[in-house]
Amino acid sequence: MSVSQITPTLFLSGADAPLNQALVSRKGITLIVNATLNHVCPVYPGVECLRVPVSDLPSARLGDHFERVAERIHSNRTGGTLVHCAAGMSRSPALVIAYLMRYRGVTLCRAHAWVQESRPYVRLNAGFWAQLLEFEKRLYGKNTVKVAAPMPPVKPPLSPWTLRSSWTQRSPPLLPRSPLLSSLSQAKKLKKDDPAFTSGDVIQQAGTCTTSEVRRTKRKRKAPDTPSTMAAIADTQKKQFEEFMKLETDRLLSELADQLVAWTANEKNSERQLQQ
C-alpha cells in the first residue's frame, strides 16, 4: 500500500489505500476522489466519495472532469483529500496535476515535477497528456511541455535472482584486436618455443608502439561486499520489485476491466440498433 503526500491535505494512491479505514482516519481524509469504473467507493462516517468514471485509455475524456474535480478538492475545508485510481499512476496523477495548475498557479511542467517528486513512478498515457496540455493552454495561453515520442515501458527493478543470474552469465565485451595485443600474443608464442625471446623484441620488430605505451598499470581490486551488505541490497531490491509488480498488476487489471466494460456497452448498443 503506497500513499503519496502531494500537499499537507492532498494525497495520491492506488485503489487499495481507501479501503483501509484506519489509514483514512489517520490522514484526516474527508473526501475520496475515485477515478475508476469498477472499484467500490467505501462508506465511512464523515467521508464523501466523488466518482470520476473514466477508463485508463488514451481516448477517455478525463479532461471533462478537470474543472469539477479541482474545484471540489479546493472547496474541501473539513479535512484532507485522497485521489486514487487503480494503481495511482495515470488517472489520479492527471487529476492532481490539473488541480495544481488550476488552484496553485503552477505550469504543467512544474505541476508534473511536483507530483513526480512525491510519486516517482507516475506514468500518464498520451491521451491524458494531450488533455492536460489543452487545459494548461486554456489557463495560461501557452504550453510549457512538449510531448515527445512514446517512451518505452518502465523496466521493473532487478530482483536478487536476476542480478545473480546476470553476474554469472555476463560475458566480457568483444574488442577489436590492436597491433599491440597481436604483438604480445606473438611474443608469448615465441617465448614458449624459445625462452631467449622477450616481448620487447617482438614489439620493437613490429614497430607499432614504444616502450612507454606497453607499461602496465596495476589495478586495485575493490574489496568484495560482505554477506550482510549483499543481503541488505538484495532485500531492498526484492521489496522494490514486489511493490512495482503489485502496482503494475493492479494497473493492467484495471485496464482490462475498463476495456471489458466499454466492450459490453458497445455490444448492448449494437443489439439495440439491430432490434430497432
Same domain, 112 and 190: no
Q: Which domain holds residue 20?
A: 3-140
- The 8-class DSSP code of residue 83 comes to E
Residue 129 forms part of a structural domain: yes
Which pLDDT score is estimated for 263?
72
* C-beta of residue 83 within 8 angstroms of C-beta of residue 65: no
- Which residue stretches of 141-226 are H helix? 160-169, 179-193, 199-206
pLDDT per position as a tens digit, 110-169: 999 999 999 998 999 999 999 999 999 999 998 888 766 655 655 555 555 555 555 455
Residue 269 forms part of a structural domain: no
* C-beta of residue 108 within 8 angstroms of C-beta of residue 102: no
Mean per-residue pLDDT for 254-274? 71
Same domain, 120 and 181: no
Which pLDDT score is estimated for 206?
42
Q: Which of 140, 166, 189 is the last residue of a domain?
A: 140
Residue 164 forms part of a structural domain: no
109 is catalytic: no
Which pLDDT score is estimated for 149?
60
**How far apart are alpha carbons 37 and 232 in whole angstroms?**
40
For the chain, how many structural domains are there in total? 2
**How far apart are alpha carbons 196 and 200 in whole angstroms?**
11
Same domain, 19 and 135: yes
Q: How confident is the model at residue 54 (pLDDT cuts 50, 70, 90)?
A: very high
**How far apart are alpha carbons 226 and 93 in whole angstroms?**
41
Same domain, 136 and 19: yes
| Residue 84 CA, distance from chain mean position | 17
Same domain, 7 and 65: yes
Using alpha carbons, select from 95, 241, 86 the residue that is nearest to residue 154.
Answer: 241
Same domain, 197 and 78: no
Same domain, 120 and 19: yes
Residue 14 forms part of a structural domain: yes
Which pLDDT score is estimated for 234?
79
Mean pLDDT, the chain, rounded, equals: 77
Which pLDDT score is estimated for 155?
59
Give the β-pairing of 29-34 and 48-51. parallel
* DSSP 3-state of 148: coil
Residue 263 forms part of a structural domain: no
| Residue 46 CA, distance from chain mean position | 34
| Residue 205 burial (10 A CB sphere; 0-12, 13-18, 19+) | exposed
Residue 29 forms part of a structural domain: yes
**How far apart are alpha carbons 70 and 66 in whole angstroms?**
6
pLDDT per position as a tens digit, 82-125: 999 989 999 999 999 999 999 999 999 999 999 999 999 899 99
Same domain, 103 and 198: no
* DSSP 3-state of 73: helix
Mean per-residue pLDDT for 191-214? 46
Which pLDDT score is estimated for 200?
45
Any idea what the CATH number is for the domain that residue 94 is in? 3.90.190.10
Same domain, 131 and 187: no
The whole-model pTM stands at 0.57
Residue 89 forms part of a structural domain: yes
Q: Rounded to a whole number, what is the largest CA-CA distance in the chain?
A: 102
Q: How confident is the model at residue 62 (pLDDT cuts 50, 70, 90)?
A: very high
Residues facing residue 7 across a β-bridge? 10
Same domain, 110 and 208: no
* C-beta of residue 163 within 8 angstroms of C-beta of residue 237: yes
Q: Which of 158, 188, 212 is the last residue of a domain?
A: 212
Which pLDDT score is estimated for 103?
94
* C-beta of residue 79 within 8 angstroms of C-beta of residue 31: yes
Residue 197 forms part of a structural domain: yes
Give the β-pairing of 10-13 and 3-7. antiparallel
Which pLDDT score is estimated for 274?
66
Annotated active-site residue in 49, 85, 109, 209: 85
Mean per-residue pLDDT for 27-46? 91
Same domain, 136 and 8: yes
* C-beta of residue 11 within 8 angstroms of C-beta of residue 81: yes
Q: How confident is the model at residue 226 (pLDDT cuts 50, 70, 90)?
A: confident
Residue listed under C-alpha cell 620487447: 200
Portion of the chain with pLDDT greater than 90, in percent:
43
Same domain, 135 and 182: no
Which pLDDT score is estimated for 205?
43
